[in-house]
Amino acid sequence: MNEAQLRHIWLCADDYGISPAVSAAIRELISRRRINAASVMVVTPSFSASEATALRDAAGAHAAIGLHLTLTAPFRPLTDFAPLRGGAFLPLAGMAGRGLLRRLDLRRLEVEIASQLAAFCTVFGRAPDYVDGHQHIQVFPQISEALLRVIKQSAPQAWLRQCGRPASAQKSLSDPKGYVLDGLSARLRRLAAKHGIRTNPAFAGTYSFRTQADFGKLFGEFLDGLPDGGLVMCHPGKVDAHLRQLDPLTDLREREYAFFLDERFPQILAERGYELARP
C-alpha cells in the first residue's frame, strides 16, 4: 500500500499528569513516535510546569497536546465549583446524572472549564490542539454545552473529541459503554457543528479493563472501519504510588505501554494500512 492510500489516525494517551510514572511513560512513547497525542490533566496533584515543558519538548512538531478536562472524583476543582464531596468533584455517576437531569450550575461549570483551559495555556504557552474529557465527561448534557462555549471563546482552533464509533465497526453487547457513548456523541457532534467546532470523525478504544484483557488483540479490533482522521484512545503508563492512590486502572496501563513499545504494534498498523497523523 502506498503512502497516499494510508489512513492517518490519532493515537491518544489519556491522563498525562495523573502521576509521574504515567507521564514519563507517555513522554517516552511520544519521543519514540509510537503515539502522537497526549491529553493533559491540569488539576492533578503531581502535574507541574516542568511536566508540561517535558511533554512539549517530547512532542515537538510530531505530536498533538490536548486538555483532558477533569470534572470527576477524586480530583479537586481549580475554582469554587459545586457540588463537591469532601472537597473533590463528585464521582462520574453523580456528575453525569446531574448533567443528564440538567441540575448543574452552568456558571460554576463554565468558570471551572475556563480555568482548566487557562491553566493549560499558562504552562504550555498556547491553547490546546484539542479538548477531551476524563471518563468521557465531555459528552454529557450541560457539560458539553458549557465546554463548547468555552472552546469557541478561548480556543476556537481546537477540535473536540467525540466518542462515537465508526458505523462499520463490529459492535458487541460486551461493550455497553460503547453504545452509551455512541448515542451521547451523536448529540455532541450536532452541537459542535452548530458552534463551528471540529470533531474527530470516529473513535475507538473502549474495553472492559478486565485483568485478562489482551490489548494487542483489542487494538487490531479498534482499527476495524476506522476512517482517516479517526482516534484511538489509550492509557499507557507505569505504575507508581501516586497512581495507586488516585485511579483503579493500574497494571493494564503497563500492558498497553509494553504493547506500544513492542514490534507487533507498528506491524499491525502497517498491515491494516494506517499510520500516525501529524498535527
Q: Give one DSSP letter per residue of 17-61, joined into a string.
A: TS-HHHHHHHHHHHHTTS--EEEE-SSSTT--HHHHHHHHHHHTT
Cα-trace Rg, the chain = 18
Residue 64's φ and ψ, nearest 5 degrees, are: -90, 150
pLDDT of 74: 97
**Closest by alpha carbon to 133, among 42, 8, 236, 47?**
42
User: CB burial class (10 A; 0-12, 13-18, 19+) of residue 170?
Assistant: exposed
Is residue 241 classed as helix, strand or coil in its secondary structure? helix
pLDDT tens-digit map of 206-259: 887 677 778 988 999 999 999 999 999 999 999 999 999 999 889 999 999 999
Q: Please tell me the distance from the alpha carbon of residue 34 to that of residue 208, in angstroms, as a whole number.
A: 23
Mean pLDDT of the chain: 94
Q: Please tell me the distance from the alpha carbon of residue 231 to that of residue 250, in angstroms, as a whole number.
A: 22
Q: Is the pLDDT of residue 2 over 70?
A: no
Cis bond leading into 74, ω under 30°?
Answer: yes
Is residue 117 classed as helix, strand or coil in its secondary structure? helix
**Closest by alpha carbon to 98, among 110, 109, 87?**
109
Q: Please tell me the distance from the alpha carbon of residue 214 to that of residue 65, in angstroms, as a whole number.
A: 27
- In the chain, domain spans: 3-276
Residues 6 or more apart whose Cβ sits within 8 Å of residue 128: 40, 65, 66, 67, 117, 120, 121, 155, 158
Q: What pTM was estimated for this model as a whole?
A: 0.95
130, β-bridge pairs: 66, 159
Residues 6 or more apart whose Cβ sits within 8 Å of residue 110: 146, 149, 150
CATH architecture of 3-276: Alpha-Beta Barrel (3.20)
pLDDT tens-digit map of 136-188: 999 999 999 999 999 999 999 999 999 999 887 666 655 667 788 999 999 99
Among left, alpha and beta (phi > 0; psi -120 to 50; other), residue 266 is alpha
